[in-house]
């Protein structure tokens, strides 16, 4: 549905509707929304767009917004939405009992829906895992002309940089960014899958990538993409110190929600064990429901230590991250 479709929503309460603004663009989400409607009789009106567009829309609509829920592919945008007064607390004992504290806003305005680790992917014939250690190590001279990564405009990179600032401090994080730019194999372009394809094409040897993209390549209908996955491997950085950066998609209850009860029911449905299994199996994301086991592919990547710093603590660093990117020349 386009933004024009919002005119059909209205903003009055409706016992049989929940209106969703989503920055995620995955078929499994829509399948789950249909399953929710079949189970409850509550229709899900879905608007999909770039998350920043959705945030701007919520700000412009204010108290007249028809949106009940905001779903983002990056926790940083939920932190921004909460800080901007666009969300309200979710009243749900189920969430409190099911989802770990670190995966929730401290004021209960949003909750993680899925997790994805931001890892180093490498060519199995040109790089040994013994050559790899941390995100920081990719700025060392031996990686000159070998590192692939997408644009600084990407939300995943912005939240990663915020985590680097939190861990290292502003000065060291900026030094890292500048040196990494010097080690880039090419000017950043494309999505995470494109970075992995560029490894196999010989443009670089390592890339910074979200784990679920490797799942998409592994199970692609395109045999060439499956071959790309076969030639590359995942490495979880920073296992000897703070752990690998983990971002998550999440879902928040909007401040102006006209249907908060329906919205809360949909949140709980998306966090249920059955929905979490489907998200993990079909979109190759790590479940946030602690009762749900990892599917076989995720298990094959191995256990890893994750950075335990709650992502809601990264909010103050997101703006600084963009300044560092600009000064480092990371386009």
Q: What CATH number should be reported for the domain holding residue 264?
A: 3.40.190.10
Rounded distance between C-alpha atoms, residue 63 and residue 68, angstroms: 11
Residue 95 lies in a domain: yes
Q: What is the pLDDT of residue 12?
A: 47
211 and 322 in a common domain: yes
The DSSP code sequence of 222-279 is: SHHHHHHHHTEEEE---TTTT-B-EEEEEEEEETT-S-HHHHHHHHHHHTSHHHHHHH
Residue 299 lies in a domain: no
289 and 171 in a common domain: no
Tally of domains within the chain: 2
3-state helix, strand, coil in the chain (%, to 5): 50, 20, 35
Q: What is the pLDDT of residue 10?
A: 47
Q: Is the pTM of this model over 0.85?
A: yes
Q: What is the pLDDT of residue 13?
A: 55
Residues of the chain with pLDDT below 50 are: 1-8, 10-12
212 and 183 in a common domain: yes
322 and 186 in a common domain: yes
240 and 123 in a common domain: yes
Q: What is the pLDDT of residue 15?
A: 74
Residue 302 lies in a domain: no
CA distances from 58 to 61, 67, 145 (A): 5, 8, 42
232 and 210 in a common domain: yes
Residue 204 lies in a domain: yes
266 and 126 in a common domain: no
258 and 238 in a common domain: no
Residue ranges making up the domain that contains 94: 3-115+247-294
Q: What is the pLDDT of residue 8?
A: 41
- Rg (the chain; Cα; Å): 20
Contact 259, 266 (CB under 8 A): no
124 and 164 in a common domain: yes
């Amino acid at each position: 549905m386009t933004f024009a479709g919002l005119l059909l929503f209205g903003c009055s309460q409706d016992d049989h509707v929940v209106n969703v603004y989503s920055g995620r663009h995955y078929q499994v989400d829509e399948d789950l929304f249909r399953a929710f409607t079949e189970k409850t009789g509550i229709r899900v009106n879905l608007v999909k767009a770039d998350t920043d567009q959705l945030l701007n829309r919520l700000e412009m609509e204010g108290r007249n917004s028809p949106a009940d829920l905001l779903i983002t592919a990056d926790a940083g945008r939920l932190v921004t939405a909460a800080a901007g007064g666009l969300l309200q607390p979710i009243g749900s004992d189920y969430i409190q009992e099911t989802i770990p504290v670190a995966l929730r806003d401290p004021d209960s305005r949003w909750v993680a829906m899925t997790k994805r680790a931001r890892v180093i992917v490498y060519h199995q014939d040109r790089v040994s895992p013994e050559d790899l250690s941390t995100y920081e190590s990719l700025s060392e001279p031996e990686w000159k002309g070998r590192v692939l990564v997408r644009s600084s405009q990407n939300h995943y990179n912005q939240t990663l940089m915020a985590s680097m600032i939190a861990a290292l401090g502003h000065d060291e994080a900026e030094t890292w960014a500048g040196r990494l730019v010097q080690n880039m194999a090419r000017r950043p372009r494309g999505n995470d899958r494109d970075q992995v394809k560029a490894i196999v094409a010989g443009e670089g040897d390592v890339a910074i990538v979200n784990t679920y993209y490797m799942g998409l390549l592994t199970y692609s209908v395109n045999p060439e993409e499956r071959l790309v996955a076969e030639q590359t491997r995942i490495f979880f950085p920073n296992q000897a110190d703070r752990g690998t950066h983990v971002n998550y998609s999440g879902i928040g209850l909007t401040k102006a929600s006209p249907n908060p009860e329906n919205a809360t029911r949909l949140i709980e449905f998306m966090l249920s064990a059955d929905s979490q299994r489907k998200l993990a199996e079909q979109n190759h994301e790590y479940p946030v429901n602690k009762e749900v086991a990892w599917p076989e592919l995720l298990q094959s990547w191995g256990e890893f230590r994750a950075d335990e710093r709650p992502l809601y603590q990264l909010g103050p660093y997101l703006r600084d991250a963009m300044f560092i990117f600009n000064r480092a020349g990371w386009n």
